[in-house]
């Protein structure tokens, strides 16, 4: 289908597809098994100018937006949903700076990210505050011109690999969620170390680890926005980034569909390719329909964000919810089409199924997405009265 992409956007798709097919596909199984971080692929993404797609030209980026990011992430994830997180998770860590950073902060950090010289990460989740972001326990105490950070973040994508971290910490516990603030913390800052690296079910080529702050001293110039705006920074960032997770899920689903169609054409049973059996045809038809529906929703939400639509929380949550649920169903069906071979690591669909599961969980579980959507509906209905 034609999704009315510009020539530049079509070029991004082709470029991302080329990197995915030529550089990522040959090594995806190796990285899945070793859990090593794919630095060589990051270099390829940088050389292809894909790392700065969503960053303004004045800061060294391509000058695109959320849609351009989603197009690249989708293509990369058709081949591997873990390796591509070097790009997607960096965008998550970068959006707070784009949305709330001062010009000085943007000039300091964005060019490095756009060139692929530095990766970024977003530090929100804690051992006791996952879905409940307002229960953040990491603190930032003001002392003169500095803030002293203490606490632990967990499940941080790009953790340990990124050079730039946007971190949410409490500056005034008494104010609850309104007492949270956002900070930029550089890797190597005294008092900032890394803890356990997680051994995950899927997206194993992506680094996920703890961030540990022990009397970590950062200058007030690293405050994002103003004190007490941390919760807003986090929520606005997630509104902006959730279509990226949706694009990851979409790519995984689309890749699984492609693999299933190709396999069904070549695999024979009863002297016929299994693609000739109506039972298989119906599975493939359902998979394709859901993938196209997810793509239409993801692109529409990305375009709304790029046009500056301020009322997109519900739609952004919908894109993440729908695309990730589709990814789980489609990858499960892909394994079924492959039969016993689909369960074997020799074939890629079992990995796609494992990778798809995380998209239903991180950046807000799909249960939380339903809460966001419902509250948005109720709020809009109240305004009509």
Question: In 3D, which of 78, 70, 120 has the Cα closest to residue 243?
Answer: 70
Number of other residues whose CB lies within 10 A of the CB of residue 90: 28
For residue 234, give the 3-state DSSP assignment. Answer: helix
- Between CA 79 and CA 57 the distance in angstroms is 29
Helices 85-100 and 66-79: crossing angle in degrees, nearest 10, is: 170
Is 131's pLDDT higher than 80? no
Q: Which domains does the chain carry?
A: 7-119 (1.10.540.10), 121-230 (2.40.110.10), 238-384 (1.20.140.10)
CB 324 within 8 A of CB 343: no
The pLDDT assigned to 177 comes to: 83
Give the pLDDT band of residue 385 (cuts 50, 70, 90). confident
Q: What pLDDT does residue 214 have?
A: 98
pLDDT, tens digit (0-9, with 9 covering 90-100), for 85-94: 999 999 999 9
CB distance 326 to 248 below 8 Å: no
pLDDT category, 383, cuts 50, 70, 90? Answer: confident
Helices 230-266 and 278-306: angle between axes, nearest 10 degrees: 150
Strands 223-224 and 180-186: antiparallel
User: What distance in Å separates the CA atoms of residue 74 and residue 80, rounded to the nearest whole number?
Assistant: 10
**Annotated active-site positions, please?**
363
| Interatomic CA distance for residues 297 and 246, integer angstroms | 9
Mean pLDDT of 286-306: 98
CB 54 within 8 A of CB 64: yes
When pLDDT is cut at 50, 70 and 90, the band that residue 56 belongs to is: very high
Locate tokens 């009322």: which residue? 311
Q: How many angstroms separate the CA atoms of 157 and 198, rounded? A: 10
For 35-57, b where at least 16 C-beta lie within 10 A, e where not — what string? Answer: bebbeebbebbbebbbbbbbbbe
For 220, which DSSP code? G
Q: Which residues pair with 141 in a beta bridge?
A: 148
> Measured between alpha carbons, how far is 252 from 75 in angstroms, rounded to an integer?
9
Region of poorest pLDDT, from 61-75, 125-139, 358-372: 125-139
What digits encode the pLDDT tens for the residues 319-356?
A: 999 999 999 999 999 999 999 999 999 999 999 999 99
Per-residue pLDDT, 135: 86
- pLDDT tens, residue by residue, 216-262: 999 999 999 999 999 999 999 999 999 999 999 999 999 999 999 99
d(CA 179, CA 137): 11
- Which positions ≥6 away from 271 have C-beta within 8 Å? none
């Amino acid at each position: 289908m034609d999704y009315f992409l510009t020539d530049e956007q079509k070029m991004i798709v082709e470029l991302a597809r080329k990197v995915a097919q030529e550089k990522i596909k040959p090594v995806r199984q190796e990285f899945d098994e070793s859990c090593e971080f794919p630095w060589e692929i990051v270099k390829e993404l940088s050389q292809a100018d894909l790392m700065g797609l969503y960053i303004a030209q004045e800061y060294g980026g391509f000058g695109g937006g959320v849609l351009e990011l989603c197009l690249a992430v989708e293509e990369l994830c058709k081949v591997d949903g873990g390796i591509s997180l070097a790009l997607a998770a960096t965008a998550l860590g970068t959006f707070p700076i784009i949305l709330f950073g001062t010009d000085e902060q943007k000039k300091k950090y964005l060019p490095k990210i756009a060139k692929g010289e530095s990766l970024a990460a977003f530090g929100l989740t804690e051992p006791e505050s996952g879905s409940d972001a307002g229960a953040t326990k990491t603190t930032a105490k003001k002392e003169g011109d500095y803030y002293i950070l203490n606490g632990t973040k967990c499940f941080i994508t790009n953790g340990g690999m990124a050079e730039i971290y946007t971190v949410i910490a409490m500056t005034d516990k008494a104010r609850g969620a309104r007492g949270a603030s956002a900070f930029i913390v550089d890797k190597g800052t005294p008092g900032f170390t890394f803890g356990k690296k997680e051994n995950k079910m899927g997206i194993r080529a992506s680094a996920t680890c703890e961030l540990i702050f022990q009397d970590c001293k950062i200058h007030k110039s690293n405050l994002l926005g103003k004190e007490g705006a941390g919760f807003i920074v986090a929520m606005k960032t997630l509104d902006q980034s959730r279509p990226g997770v949706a694009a990851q899920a979409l790519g995984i689903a689309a890749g699984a569909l492609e693999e299933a169609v190709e396999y069904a054409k070549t695999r024979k049973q009863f002297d016929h390719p299994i693609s000739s059996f109506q039972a298989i045809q119906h599975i493939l038809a359902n998979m394709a329909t859901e993938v196209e529906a997810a793509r239409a929703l993801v692109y529409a939400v990305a375009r709304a964000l790029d046009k500056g639509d301020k009322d997109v929380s519900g739609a952004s949550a919908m894109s993440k919810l729908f695309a990730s649920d589709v990814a789980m169903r489609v990858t499960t069906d892909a394994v079924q089409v492959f039969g016993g071979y689909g369960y074997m690591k020799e074939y890629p669909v079992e990995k796609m199924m494992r990778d798809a599961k995380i998209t239903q969980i991180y950046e807000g579980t799909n249960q939380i997405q339903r809460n966001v959507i419902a509250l948005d509906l109720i709020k809009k209905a109240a305004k009509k009265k």
